[in-house]
Chain A
């Protein structure tokens, strides 16, 4: 249950950006979450909905979660494959000499904001 900790961290960053840019409110937050980043999207949403009530700029903020596919690369045969289906073992040659290329990310992509004029 570390989703709450991540939500708190994300909100802190976004509030900082909002403050620096003289924003009135943040309407939408887009977050890229890797398939194997160990973030559970539903739990993350619940934590976000609870936490946003305590913020200055994110009271009405909508959360967009963009899921990034988990892909691994095999150093023995050079092939790329879906991590969630085959984990550490390369389906092409059976080697375990593989590593994760994408899918472990938690990136704050962008925010849509309403500014005062």
Chain B
């Protein structure tokens, strides 16, 4: 005889990822390691910015970099070659974002116990990475000048989860219809308290402010 009954599950599907993210953050804070998750659309200059940041910080801090992509290892080779710091490349195998498990496995593969700062270059995508907490202690969101100052309006969640925003490629500003005031206003609409930095990794303009911000984040977890 067949019996039909209802089983209550009542499980929030994000809960497992969120719980894991919390425990990663707690472990990193205990070990005094800053974990910076960098997110943006493809081609906004994440890798170039990371190379520049690492080279300005590596004399004072021990740094490791995790490069995440769907395929290839070009970014990891670029970062390793131009900075000399410990770098690994991970592949999501088609997935458009990193889950917390992938992030945890990457931290283990990199080996973080001897580091002060771990930088994660997330998959270039303004949608899905915002929905999955990686366990990072801070989220730096990048918006590049050629993308347009209206991106925070189109991708609200990405800018809502930002701890700070870096507007990159400032050196090409004259060639694009991009307003610094509008960009700042649009970011503020999503995240009123996030600091916004206007930088050019190519010329070095504005990088000092961003470097100070990252140092502040390192100091926060080292307290």
Contact = CB atoms under 8 A, between A and B. Distances in A.
Interface of A: 1-2, 5-6, 9-10, 13-14, 17, 21, 23-24, 27, 38, 87-88, 96-97, 105-117
B7 A113 contact: yes
B110 interface: no
Question: Chain B: interface secondary structure?
Answer: mixed
B13 A10 contact: yes
Contacts of B12: 105-107
B156 A88 contact: yes
B3 A114 contact: yes
B8 interface: yes
A49 B176 CA distance: 45
Contact of A110 (B9, B156, B189): B9
Interface string B127-162: 110010000000000000000000000001100000
B157 to A, nearest CB: 7
5 contacts: A17-B7, A105-B12, A107-B10, A107-B12, A108-B13
Contacts of B190: 88
A111 B6 contact: yes
A2 B97 contact: yes
B155 to A, nearest CB: 11
A102 B28 CA distance: 31
B9 A14 contact: yes
Given A2-B97, A5-B95, A87-B156, A117 B13 contact: no
Contacts of A112: 4-7
8 closest pairs, A vs B, by CB?
A108-B9, A115-B3, A106-B13, A110-B8, A108-B11, A2-B128, A117-B1, A112-B6
